[in-house]
Structure formats: C-alpha cells, structure tokens
Amino acid sequence: MLYSFIGYYSLIFGLFISLPIFFFSIKNFKTDAVLDPKIITFSFIQLFLVIISFLGLVFSFVYSDFSNETVFNNSHTTKPLFYKISGTWGNHEGSLLLWLVVLTLFIFLFLIKSKGLLKKYRILTLLFQQIIIIGFFIFLIKSSNPFNYIFPIPNEGLGLNPILQDPALAIHPPILYLGYVGSSIIFSSVLAATTLDYITKEWAIHIKSWILISWVFLTLGILLGSIWAYYELGWGGFWFWDPVENVSLMPWLALTTLLHSIIILEKKSILSSWVIILSIATFTLSMCGTFLVRSGILNSVHTFANDPERGLFILIFLFILIFISLFIFFIYHKTDNKVSNSFFLLSKETSILVNNWFMMYFLSVILIGTVYPIFLEVISSQKISVGPPFYHKLIIPFLIPFLIFMAIGPQLKWIKGGLEGKLNLLIFFIISLLISFFIVKNFKDNFLINTILIGSAFYLFSITIRDFLLKKLKNIHQNVAHFGFSLLILSILLNNIFSSELITNLKVGERFKNDKFEIVFNDLKKFEQKNYVSFKGNFLIIHNQKKDELKPELRVYNQPNIVTSEADIKTNLFSDKFITMNTVKNEEYFNIRYQVKPFMIWIWVSVLLISLGGILSLNKKKYEK
C-alpha cells in the first residue's frame, strides 16, 4: 500500500511541476538571455517524480500488493520475480506510465544535448513536449490510474496472461516505447523549428540523431516482438499481418522515410515540407497505434485493453495535436519555390525521393488494410479480417522496382550524376536474375514473379557486398543497413517459397510417415514448475536419413488457469525445425504440427544488421576519421 501511495502522489506532483516549467519557459522566451537553468531543474524534478511513481508500481508488483487494482489484475504470488517486474508494463495502466517515463526522460535529455542551438527553439520544443506530457498525465490519473485502491484487500491476484510471461516480451515493450516515444521529440522539435523558421542544415544535423535513436529502438522492438510471436504463439511464422504488428510497422516506415529525407535536407536544405509532414505523421501513427490497441477495437492476439472511454480520450487528444501541427504547418511553413528545380533525374536525391514514394505507398496499403475493417464494421456492422493475401498482392509487385532503386541509388552522385561507367550494375542484375532462375526453376506457381522478385533481392544483396569490398569504411553505416535489408528480403522470400509443413494427430507411441518426414511420438513426461505444470513430449523426426529429437510442451498455468503450447525449435544456419503439440478435446490424441523453415536465423540477423547500420550512423564521425 505504501508504494502505491508514493507512486500516486508522485504522479500528481509530477503533473503540477508542468506549471513552473510553463511559467519559466514563457518568461525566458521573451528575453534574449541564455536558457534559464530553472527550466532544466524543474524538468529534472518532473522526470524524477515520474520515475519514483513508476518504481512505486514496480515495488507494488514485486511485493504483491493486492490492494493495488493493477497488481491484483496482473500478478500472483507464485509468479517468478522477473515476470512480477515485467508485469509492471505488461498491462494497460503500467505501459502508459512507462510511456510517461520515456516522454519526460527524452525531453530532459533533449535540453541537455541541445545547448548549442537557438534558445527559443529549445524552449518551444519543451513547451510542445509538455503539452503531450500533460495529456498523458491527465489520461493516467483520470481514466487509467495504475494506483487504484481496492477494498477488501484480496489474498491473491488474478495473474498475468501466460503468453506474456516470456523474456522476449518482457523487454519488448520498453524497447518499442523508446522508439515510439522518441517520435514525440521529433514531433515537438519540428513544430518548434517550423514556428521559428528554423528548418536549416544545422537543425537537420541535430534532429537526425534523435531520428536515428528512435529508428534503432523501434527496429529492435519490432524484432523482439516478431521473435516472441514466432516461438510463443506456435504459428511457425515471424509476421502475420496482425493489426497490432501493423501499427508498429507503420511508424517504422514513416520514420525510415523521414531518415532518408533528413539526409537530403542536411545536404541541400530542400525537402523541408517532406520532413515536417513525415515528422508529424510518424508521431501521429505512434499515437494511433496506442489508440487502436488501448481502445480494444482491434481484434488481435496482442490486444489486452478493452475500454472505449480510454480510446476516446486518446482519439480526442490526438485530434488536438494533429490540429495544432497542421495549423503551424500551413501558417508558419515557408515553401521553398526552388525545390522543383533542384533535382536532376540521375542523382542520389532523386533516387531517395522515388524510394520515399514507394515507402509511402507501402505505408498506405498497410494503413488501409488495418483501418478498413474497423470502418466497415462501424458503417455496416459487417466484420471482416484482412489477411496476408491482401498485403502480398499489393506490396510484392512494387517491391521489385523498390529494391532496384535501393541498389542503384547509392551509386549515383549528389546534385547531378549519371550511369557512365556503371555497366557493371547491368551485369550484376543479369547475374542476379540467372541465380534466381536456377533457384525457382522447379517452382511451378508464380514462376515469373518469384524469379524477378528474388533476382531483385539478389541484385541489392550483391551490390551492397560489392560496395563493402570497394568502398571499405566509406558510407559503411549505409552499406550495413542496406545489406541487412537485402538479406531480410531475400531470407523472407526463400523462407516463404521453400517452407514445408506437416499436421497430423498422434497418440503416445504412434508414428506418422509420408514421402518427406517420419514422426515418432516416443513419450510424454510431467514436470512441476513454480507456477505451472509442464507436459513435455518427446518426438523423433526422421528426414533425409537424419534424426532429430524435439521436445515441445504443454503448460497448464495455475493462475490464471490457462493451457499454452510451447514450441521446440532446432536451429542451424540453413533452417529451423519447428514442432508444436496441442490437445484434441475429449481424445487421447495430440495435434502435432511440424515445420521446416529455411533461413529463419538470417531473418533475425538481418534486422540486427539494419539496426547496426543506424548505430554506426550515430557514430560515423568517429570511425570515418
């Protein structure tokens, strides 16, 4: 009870600290002096109070304080300590408190790291960020209070959803939120810079670091969520076009486009309109993701909140922020009339701009596929789900020119260039198509599209390898990120084409054989764990005269009383062997699902390489000296 008391009043005091921040900021804005130290002091106090509030919730979970409604709904005394702590943000209230921690942390770091920039710009960025922070304070205290008191105090809690009790998912939300909330600083910064007509090269260099930080964390957050879904949900895939997966991918696409646009702004002081719109769009999409998940209107395995009142609050708050940002854009932004004459057809700027249009198209497809079922249900009460076929048909054909532009673009020069002496680019493309042809020659369905698609991925893959060998440390951050992306696309394509699957029902002691696999269900053993009972199967898989022993399990959790299926996965450099088992109701049989997933490990490695490219870009001045 004590920790909840401290946490709640720290939250209240943190909200009131916004008043002196506003007072001293407005007062200091009118003078020509340096930034008032009181502003930084009060920003630190606000951060400190929010951290104290968050720690109050953490300790309430650790000590199983069931007088706290959030702890009662999401914890249990038998839960391991690690999952008690991660349970702090494994729920609606706690996750939004974590949002607030990151919001206040980022603005404090921004004030510390922007000392050499225009004072009025720093103050305006702080004020815009405070509007967002105050909105989240009010939202938490009014409709999502993580410190609600319940009486009489229960002896035991309801427990955390077992599928959330996983190491990858425990660290997934904090990493993802660092990416999401990082976009708030970009949003506040661009509004401040637009108001002051400060969209300059100096500003672009400064904000680029924040874009990279957000982009790296968002990339890693999506990766962790994908890995969790792969082995925990038992579907055997890494991406299911689930609505909540989509709402994390959309800000990533916008952020990636923004990153490439800011590079041009940094070089030539053009595309300022693109940068402003993409900055607003990235934060808007992050907030939309929060709205869609928290309102409970999405039908998703990830959705754990269902309160339309909360969703309505976020929606109104989001509309206010969008209105403010559009008002500032149309009133204060001065369009550069020279932009249309600043691009030559064969230049690096043009290739980036073309790829930006592709990224916006991909973003639009995902946005429509995610939001359309919601609007259809509201208008006609008809429920539909938009699945992989929709996305594949609309995205894959445009992926081919996108990959080709990604390969050619870095070979061009800034301002004005050409393809003179670039005959090797054509040779590499022909070789890539030939390699692709031999890979898919026995593949009957969609032979042409698969050949061109894999050929385009191989083309980008081979060009980036060539750049590594020829350019060495020059633009290594770009080469690493592009190489990682080409490896990602190539691994996904080969994985989709050459995956194989077997589904059958077996009793203990039975075996199943077809022309590819033989599965032997040897035995089933029971193990007692702290908060669940495990039933572990022992399977022998025989494939191409090779034998593998795999041990999937069923877990029966005590609180809440839920049965989960845990996959067993054997990984090597070329493929994953993946098996799950589930009970068949009122039968002695178990439903067995065995899959061979080629190049799975390279999907994870490729995303790490993409993130590494961003990290190297943050430090490129050090290693390029």
User: In the Cβ-directed half-sphere of 340, how many Cα atoms lie within 13 Å?
Assistant: 2
The pLDDT score that the predictor gives to residue 387 is: 83
First CA to last CA across the chain, in angstroms? 56
Among the residue ranges 259-273, 357-371, 391-405, 479-493, the one predicted with the least confidence is 259-273
Residues 293, 302 contacting (CB under 8 angstroms): yes
User: How many other C-beta atoms can be found within 10 angstroms of the C-beta atom of residue 322?
Assistant: 16
Average pLDDT over residues 485-513: 89
Model confidence, pTM: 0.90
The pLDDT score that the predictor gives to residue 303 is: 46
* Among candidate residues 227, 220, 217, 82, the one with its CA nearest the CA of residue 168: 227
Average pLDDT over residues 338-366: 79
Domain ranges (residues) in the chain: 1-165, 500-600
Residues 527, 536 contacting (CB under 8 angstroms): yes
The pLDDT score that the predictor gives to residue 431 is: 86
Q: What are phi and psi of 519, to 5 degrees?
A: -115, 125
The residues, any chain, with a CB within 8 Å of residue 445's CB and separated by 6 or more, are: none
The pLDDT score that the predictor gives to residue 624 is: 43
The pLDDT score that the predictor gives to residue 612 is: 94
Q: What are phi and psi of 486, to 5 degrees?
A: -65, -40
Residue 421 has pLDDT above 70, yes or no: no
**Phi-psi sector, 532: left (phi>0), alpha (psi -120 to 50), beta:** beta
The pLDDT score that the predictor gives to residue 74 is: 85
Residue 622 has pLDDT above 50, yes or no: no
The pLDDT score that the predictor gives to residue 301 is: 46
The pLDDT score that the predictor gives to residue 531 is: 76
If one compares 165 and 573, the residue with the highest pLDDT of the two is 573
**Phi-psi sector, 508: left (phi>0), alpha (psi -120 to 50), beta:** beta
Residues facing 511 on adjacent strands: 520
pLDDT digits (tens, 9 = 90+) for 460-487: 888 888 888 777 677 788 889 989 999 9
Residue 296 has pLDDT above 70, yes or no: no
Residue 625 has pLDDT above 50, yes or no: no
Q: Which DSSP category does 151 fall into?
A: S
Q: 243-268 vs 167-195: helix axis angle to the nearest 10?
A: 40
Q: 423-440 vs 447-471: helix axis angle to the nearest 10?
A: 130
If one compares 622 and 88, the residue with the highest pLDDT of the two is 88
If one compares 418 and 167, the residue with the highest pLDDT of the two is 167
Q: What is the mean pLDDT of the chain?
A: 86
Residue carrying structure tokens 């904090």:
174
**Mean pLDDT highest for which of 63-77, 96-110, 344-358?**
96-110
Residue 419 has pLDDT above 80, yes or no: no
User: How many other C-beta atoms can be found within 10 angstroms of the C-beta atom of residue 565?
Assistant: 19
Residue 443 has pLDDT above 50, yes or no: yes
pLDDT digits (tens, 9 = 90+) for 301-340: 444 445 666 767 878 888 899 999 999 999 988 765 545 4
Instruction: Give the pLDDT band of residue 288 (cuts 50, 70, 90).
Output: confident
If one compares 138 and 168, the residue with the highest pLDDT of the two is 138
pLDDT digits (tens, 9 = 90+) for 94-147: 988 999 999 999 999 999 998 888 999 999 999 999 999 999 999 999 888 999
Question: Can you list the alpha helix ranges (DSSP code H) found in 114-242?
Answer: 119-143, 167-195, 201-232
Instruction: Give the pLDDT band of residue 208 (cuts 50, 70, 90).
Output: very high
Residue 600 has pLDDT above 80, yes or no: yes
**Mean pLDDT highest for which of 246-250, 450-454, 543-547?**
246-250
Among the residue ranges 183-192, 279-288, 344-353, 492-501, the one predicted with the least confidence is 344-353
Among the residue ranges 88-92, 187-191, 369-373, 556-560, the one predicted with the least confidence is 556-560
Using a 10 angstrom Cβ sphere, with 0-12 exposed, 13-18 middle and 19 or more buried, the burial of residue 55 is: middle
